[in-house]
Structure 1
Amino acid sequence: MNRGRTSTTTPGKSRFDDIYNRPDPRAYFRRLAPLQYEIPHQAQDAFRRARADRAAAGDTGGPVTVLDLCCSYGINAALLNHDLTLAELYAHYTGPEAQSLTTTELIDLDKEFYASRRREDATPAIGLDAADQAVRYALAVGLLDEGYAENLEQHAPSEQLRRAVAGTGLITVTGGIGYITRRTFEALLECAEIPLWVTAFVLRTVDYEPVISALADFGLATETDPAHAYPQRLFTGSAEQRNAVEQARLLGHDPTGLEAEGRYYTRLYQSRPRAA
């Protein structure tokens, strides 16, 4: 679940182990800015719409609790629950003020930074990631109401996580598919006590069918628009691009105008109960 780890389902993809589990996200934003990493921006409106749809469906007993998989430093929660853009987060964490601070000082700054931008429609946010330091940061600055540093690919969920998932109405994920598999989704859905929807952005180089099959076993039907692709980031070099083009083709996707032009692309998958 820590996206810095090697995955058998994303061969040839560059690793960023050194930035995924720091005490704060400054190195993460500095490293990814030149690569134009933008999938949290692409997901912002989609996640808000999915949350609104989930609320309209009822059965949540209150505001929709959102569980973000591979939550890292809480970026998706920041964009979901605050009047912020991803560009503003890049500016915040790569700017001179943030660079001069200790981690403790940055956390104090970020508590005020996020609190002052909290939306009126903000709802409870839970984060799950094996990167324990990243999760602690997201909790410390108030982006997450609950955070769990657990790897469900290797271990069963803790009792605390089980209780948290029991009341969750929506699962979101942007960059994690390929590092997490159907095992993580099965473990979470087994804990659900109310209908649990899933909104996932998945690289076109990754086979999502095993997850779709697992979700179907729990009564969820998955829809996607194969004609709509969302940019994720630039490739780190020609070797990564060649591999991505090959993987996309192996999965039946045409890389022309997409991976062949120099960056990763994703598809959006919406999984909801068949009755919905």
Structure 2
Amino acid sequence: MAAGAINTTAGSDWGKADFEAIYNCPDPRRYFTTLQPLDYQIPHHGQAVFRAVAETLQRCRADRAPLDVVDLCCSYGVNAALLNHRLSLGDLYDRYTAHGTGVPQTRQLAREDGTFFATRRRPGAARVIGIDAAEHAVDYAQKVGLLDHGFAENLEHDEPSAALRRALAGTDLITVTGGVGYITARTFARLFDCVSSPPWVAAFVLRTVSYRPVSDLLARAGLVTEKCTTRTFRQRRFADDGERQAAFTALAGHGLSIAGKEDDGFYHAELYLSRPAADAAAVPLTELLPG
């Protein structure tokens, strides 16, 4: 498949286009050059929310500094870059689409990225563990310093390795911006088997996908799940008419209207935050979220 091409004939179970070819490249350039024309923006929304959640959680757990954050479906470490560095998603698009996919070579780009991110790191940055089945993406994110630990493991299919179990023990926060649907409650169950105490979970979930199986699992672990009811968050534009129609069909199946949301040509995600009941009572979701 040519660089930037999208396979829309073999998508996910809920009709999404297949971007598999861009998720496991040696470096992030093909990922960004493919997604930029679709105005992929959910990590931008995640940046504001995850920073606000992390700051609130840090106040709740003042003895835990820095926080241990686990980013699910971490790909090339985009969420970690935006959480821990003085950067915007636009900065990353500019960086990785400027020269196409030909130059510089991946090894040189990785060296340059190591310096680029190190000089923009925010004070009090969280420790980030990234988990993704795409081994090249995880390796790149770890190599350039975005991930403190990276694990190319598929928890839908396999139990976590001994090393991952050790790394997960002190988890404070789990984040995910687009993976739910590809990963299910099975992945979350395996994660929660490894933690010493229930972490917070902040998840952006497409409206075409039900979060109920995951929130039910988290409830059994002692967490209360709240949904942001004041807005939804654009993920990206539909790749083509087939993807749009599949999304509309899925939404109708959930009894959801597209008016004012997906009828604008974008996938829309909802934000869910799961916390222990005492934490949820202490800081209401409406006060926690950025304006």
1:71 aligned residue: 74
Residue from 278, 282, 287 that aligns with 1:275: 278
In the alignment, the residues of structure 2 paired with residue 60 and residue 192 of structure 1 have an alpha-carbon distance, to the nearest angstrom, of 17
The aligned counterpart of 1:226 is 229
Cα 1:245/1:227, change in 2 over 3 Å: farther
Q: CA RMSD in A?
A: 1.6
Match for residue 194 of structure 2? 191
For the 8 Å contact 1:59–1:194, the answer to whether it is kept is no
5+ residue gaps, structure 1: none
Offset of residue 98 of structure 1: 7.4
Partner of 2:168: 165
* Preserved CA contact (<8 Å) 1:73 1:137: yes
User: After superposition, what is the alpha-carbon deviation per residue over 1:222-261, rounded to whole angstroms, capped at 9, x for unaligned?
Assistant: 0012341000000011111111112112223211121122
The superposition leaves residues 108-129 of structure 1 with CA deviations (integer Å, 9 ceiling, x where unpaired) of 1100110111011211011000
Q: Residues 138 and 223 of structure 1: is their aligned pair in 2 closer, same or farther, counting only changes over 3 Å?
A: same
Does the CA contact (< 8 Å) of 1:69 and 1:129 recur in 2?
yes
CA distance in 2, matches of 1:6, 1:193: 37
Aligned equivalent of 2:59, options 47, 56, 61: 56
Partner Cα separation in structure 1 for residue 92 and residue 176 of structure 2: 19
TM-score normalised over the length of structure 2? 0.90
Greater mean deviation of Cα atoms: 144-153 or 56-65 = 56-65
Describe the superposition over 1:163-218 as per-residue Cα deviations: whole angstroms up to 9, x where unpaired: 11111100000010000000000110111113311000000000110000011010
* 1-structure distance, mates of 2:59, 2:86: 22
TM score, norm. by length of structure 1: 0.95
**Aligned match of 1:16 in 16, 19, 32?**
19
Distance (Å, rounded) in 1 between the aligned partners of 2:108 and 2:211: 41
Residue 105 of structure 1 and its aligned partner are, at CA, apart by 0.5
Question: Unaligned 5+ residue runs, structure 2?
Answer: 1-6, 280-291
Q: Percent identity?
A: 49
* Aligned counterparts of 1:175 and 1:166: Cα–Cα separation in 2: 24
Match of 1:120 among 105, 120, 123: 123
Relative distance call for 1:182 and 1:176 in structure 2 (3 A) is: same
- Asked if structure 2 preserves the Cα contact closer than 8 Å seen for 1:59 and 1:195, the reply is no
Question: One-letter code of the match for 1:267?
Answer: E
CA shift, 1:99, in A, is 4.5
Give, in whole Å, the separation in 2 of the partners of 1:43 and 1:110. 22
Residues 130-162 of structure 1: CA distance to partner in whole angstroms, max 9, x if unpaired?
000000000000000000000111111111111
1:83 aligns with 2:79: no
Alpha-carbon shift at residue 17 of structure 1 (Å): 1.0
1:73-125 per-residue CA deviation (whole Å, 9 max, x = no partner) reads 00000000000000010000001387520000000110011011101121101
Structure 1 ranges of 4+ moved more than 3 A: 4-8
Distance across 2 between alignment mates of 1:230 and 1:143: 25
Change in CA separation of 1:99 and 1:115 when aligned onto 2, cut-off 3 Å = farther
- 1:256 to 1:135, Cα distance in 2 relative to 1, 3 A: same
